[in-house]
Chain A
Amino acid sequence: MLPRIPRMLWIALLFLFAACAPRSPGEAAAAPAEAAAQVRYHFGDDMRWADPNFDDSSWPVAHQGHWPVPPYDSDGFIWVRVRVPTSETVAGPLALRLRGKNVLIADEIFVNGVLVGRQGSLPPRTEMSLYARDEIFSLPTGLTAPGSAAVLAFRAWYPAGGRSLARVGGEVFTIDASQMQHLALQADHDASLIAEGPNLALNGIILMLGAGLLVFWRWAGGRDLLVCSWMLMATSLMELWNISFPSGLVSISGRAYFLVDAGLQALSMAASVELVWTVHGLRAVGIRRLYHASWVIGTAAYLILMLAANPSPIILWSSLVMVPAIASFDCIQVAVNLWALMTKRANRLIAVAMIVIAVSDLLQNFGYLRGANFGRFHETYFGLSLFLCEFALFVMLGRRAWQAWRARDELRVEFDAAREVQQQLVAPAVDVPGFKIESVYAPAKHVGGDFFRVLPEADGGMLVVVGDVSGKGLKAAMTVSAIVGALRTMPALAPSQVLGALNRGLAGQLQSGFVTCCAARIGRDGTVTIANAGHLSPYRNGAEVPVASGLPLGIDPAAEYEANQFRLQPAESLTFVSDGIVEARNAAGDLFGFDRTQRISMSGAEAIAQAAIDFGQDDDITVLTLTWLQESGQSNGPIRAPTLEPA
């Protein structure tokens, strides 16, 4: 997950040497002198060293052209002087080409005492030039002549985070015809891009797969899809960023580069943690925190080392903790996935992929896995294993999510069908001459636990049964179906007998649940006989009907239900509701309550139900309103049987 760790590792380890054994220019001067035309260097800063006539013969010679970077506790400056020959045959304007080798640097280049170019910005307003990019500087006419050797003075400053004992300095300077320099630079640049071609292509594919998973997640849901998409996109973007910036595809300041780089690195590592925990369903909070802490510490230390300009204790601490933190991140990833490999059969392939990613990252970080050239192309083993494993993760999680989505879709179709059937069975529209009846049945889920029946009778009256099974969803709906079936086949009985019969049938069958139920027989003359088993009393013209309430059905098989009787006046109405009305809850947790219900109980069924739904539906809602128009001669007319159409 951290493709640049070798560089970081070197910096961190070398810091330890730098902090323990700081050197002085004098010590460096003890190095054996080499040929006169060789590269000479000196720590410190003195503008007189730009003078072509300055005698640098006492300066140490850089071994094989590589000079050490300044000691950690120095001012960070180093001057390098070298005589650069110009061919006798060169023609046209001349240019200096600098091929950089350093990680972080700001510099100025003098040719024969004249400033010809700079990279980054030197103290006090420092800005690092990342990788000391391969760059060409035009030389003023007459500054150096073909066949001569120009004195080049290179004034470089290394930030505290980039100083070490290593001979990492070693820019290569050449003076040639400007046109030739530009052609050579373009050719090298193209070759570099071609070499990175496979890496660009593989990471581009992973980025697209990650985006595809994100689109699929928006459609199908599932946290594992979201986290996997996040990991694929963050990792591929980090890899693309690491390729594009050094290759010159993107040009920004060193600080901006490292901030973006550390941000992508943090996103990628955090995604790895979340993916492992989500896919394996782990609960080990302590290990998860350690896992997160390792990437937070490692990334923070990396950022400090890359951005710090001046020496401070925090740099030393960062250099000490960075490598162990990053290594422990990979080790935890390996350990957790090994455990999953042994205990989570369905996740074995995912665990293997995550282990391979972590192990290849560890090996690369410690220099055991570099890469190989395939003709003009170059590919790291880490990049290859990352691609293969991330592709495998995409396939496995995508396939799993697709199957889950298909199963959910089939279930949704089944529930839609069940809802339709239940609407027809449980809450049919009814029409009884002499009465105006309205009803609303609104389950909280696909299917509900409320029910009502209006059973017209031969004498022009009707039996009304309204009830509610405790609980919601499929379990309650199955009980409702049984009750409705019993009511359909039940002979004409008094309300208290109806409740008694249902109670005996349900007792012992509800697994600690119950059914509240209110049964009322309403004669064609407006006489109402009503019995109640724990259900809400109906409202008569806006007032609660005082009804003796018995135990809900299904609790005590011996329970008995008392009946009450009263007579409706013409145009008077009865309103039956389920507890979904009185116990509708708003976002603040307030209940709709009995008072509000009573105040709107004279409204139509639709209005009552809508008021509760708008307040905050929390349970199945049933409202049945019945208005006795009057006893008339037309009462002997035909009675329309209940239909099986939706309410």
Chain B
Amino acid sequence: MQNETKARIDQITSPAGHSVAVLRFEGDIASTSKEAVLGTYQTLPKDSSRLVLLDFSKVEYINSSGIALVIQMLIEASNSGQKVFAFGLSPHFTKVFTMVGITKYAGLFPREADAMAAL
């Protein structure tokens, strides 16, 4: 049984003083999560959100259709010149993200603090 995907945006400031948009996801990410993943991302103003942090710490499962959505979002971010980091993935999904080449578009970190330090 798939858990509904929830997403929200937090605006924080990095240690270096940059404004960072944090997309926090919750539940499962699958083909039905298009609005939660892409829809939420697309509400970010491209000009002012140059740094984007993806929080997967409350995500329980991502299937191949969900990974496709994440890749689509990362390509869009790359084309817009945004810098994206992700954190909170389980070791399993860190491996899957690495396997499908997501590391070409986003740095993966275990915790939020590690990602913030890299910004």
Contacts and interface: CB of A to CB of B under 8 A. Distances in A.
Interface of A: 468, 470-471, 512-514, 516, 534-537, 549-552, 555-556, 579, 582-583, 585, 589, 591, 593-594, 618-619
A359 B72 CA distance: 57
A551 B92 contact: no
Contact of B95 (A516, A535, A594): A594
Nearest to A549: B99
A594 B92 contact: yes
25 contacts: A468-B64, A470-B67, A471-B31, A471-B65, A512-B34, A513-B65, A513-B68, A514-B68, A514-B71, A514-B100, A516-B64, A516-B100, A534-B100, A534-B101, A549-B98, A549-B100, A551-B71, A551-B100, A551-B104, A552-B100, A582-B92, A591-B61, A618-B63, A619-B63, A619-B64
List the 8 closest A-B pairs by CB distance, nearest first: A534-B100, A470-B64, A551-B101, A470-B68, A471-B65, A513-B68, A512-B72, A470-B65
A596 B43 CA distance: 40
Interface centre among A470, A550, A556, A583 (most CB of B within 10 A): A470
Nearest to A536: B99
A468 B100 CA distance: 12
Contact of B101 (A552, A593, A618): A552
Nearest to A593: B92
B100 A583 contact: no
A632 to B, nearest CB: 36
A589 B68 contact: no
Contacts of A536: 99
B34 to A, nearest CB: 8
Given A516-B100, A550-B101, A579 B69 contact: no
B61 A589 contact: yes
Interface in B55-105: 60-61, 63-65, 67-69, 71-72, 75, 92, 95-96, 98-101, 104
A549 B60 contact: no
Interface residues of B, number: 21
Contacts of B96: 579
Contacts of B95: 594
B69 A591 contact: no
A57 B114 CA distance: 105
A597 to B, nearest CB: 11
A459 B34 CA distance: 47
B103 to A, nearest CB: 9
A437 to B, nearest CB: 24
B93 to A, nearest CB: 9
Contacts of A583: 63
A591 B92 contact: yes
A354 B96 CA distance: 55
A534 B98 CA distance: 8
Given A551-B104, A585-B61, A619-B63, A512 B68 contact: yes
Contacts of A514: 64, 67-68, 71, 100
Contacts of B31: 471
A550 B105 CA distance: 12
Contacts of B100: 514, 516, 534, 549, 551-552
A534 B70 CA distance: 14
A470 B71 CA distance: 12
B98 to A, nearest CB: 7
B86 to A, nearest CB: 17
A495 to B, nearest CB: 17
Given A583-B63, A585-B61, A589-B60, A534 B99 contact: yes
A618 B101 CA distance: 23
A555 B72 CA distance: 8
Nearest to A554: B68
A530 to B, nearest CB: 14
Interface centre among A471, A585, A619 (most CB of B within 10 A): A471
A521 B99 CA distance: 20
A512 B69 contact: yes
Contacts of A471: 31, 64-65, 68
Contacts of A585: 61
A516 B65 CA distance: 12
A594 B69 CA distance: 23
Nearest to A591: B92
A583 B60 CA distance: 12
Contacts of A516: 64, 100
A549 B67 contact: no
Interface centre among B71, B95, B101 (most CB of A within 10 A): B101
A551 B95 CA distance: 14
A514 to B, nearest CB: 5
Interface in B13-72: 31, 34, 60-61, 63-65, 67-69, 71-72
Contacts of B69: 512
Given A513-B65, A514-B68, A534-B99, 9 more contacts: A470-B67, A471-B65, A513-B68, A514-B67, A536-B99, A550-B101, A579-B96, A593-B92, A619-B63
Interface centre among A514, A536, A550, A618 (most CB of B within 10 A): A514
A512 B73 CA distance: 10
A591 B71 CA distance: 22
